[in-house]
Amino acid sequence: MRRRIAAPLATTALALCAALLPAASASAAPADKSQVLSSWTQTGASSYNAFTAARASQAAWGSYGFDWSTDYCTTSPDNPFGFPFKDACARHDFGYRNYTAAGAFDANKSRLDDALYADLKRVCATYSGLKKTSCDGTAWTYYQAVDKLG
């Protein structure tokens, strides 16, 4: 009699474990994903530096499921007139892609565009004279493009 009950009970227990195992192993993104995303998309230099460090070690952030893809400055030059805007554009893409995936793009677009402009201005701050003036003007043009068209 015990065999008749034990066998179906064991089968049921194994089936239950098998049914629950995929759910347990399919790990969800960490609870702090939105905070990490926010911390990497602020206007300050420390936010930019934190993003740059994370981007250099993307594998360490694998459980977060971030979209690291980028087309850099899209159809605009990545290094217009020799100004290295490529990395600023990569962070901007990161923000756009990940906030879109989170369903929170509209609420964050303005800050993402402002962060791009702050990053571009930091690039321009490394120049002086006419070269800085030219860089600042180019940065303003890039900002206006994403503000109006992005």
- Tens of pLDDT along the chain (150 residues)? 444 444 444 444 434 344 333 333 345 789 999 999 999 999 999 999 999 999 999 999 999 999 999 999 999 999 999 999 999 999 999 999 999 999 999 999 999 999 999 999 999 999 999 999 999 999 999 999 999 998
Superfamily of domain 28-149, CATH level 4: Phospholipase A2 domain (1.20.90.10)
List Cβ neighbours of 72 (8 Å cut-off, separation of 6 or more).
Answer: 78, 86, 89, 90, 93
Which residues are known to be catalytic? Answer: 92
Q: Where are the domains of the chain?
A: 28-149
The owner of tokens 């230099």 is 45
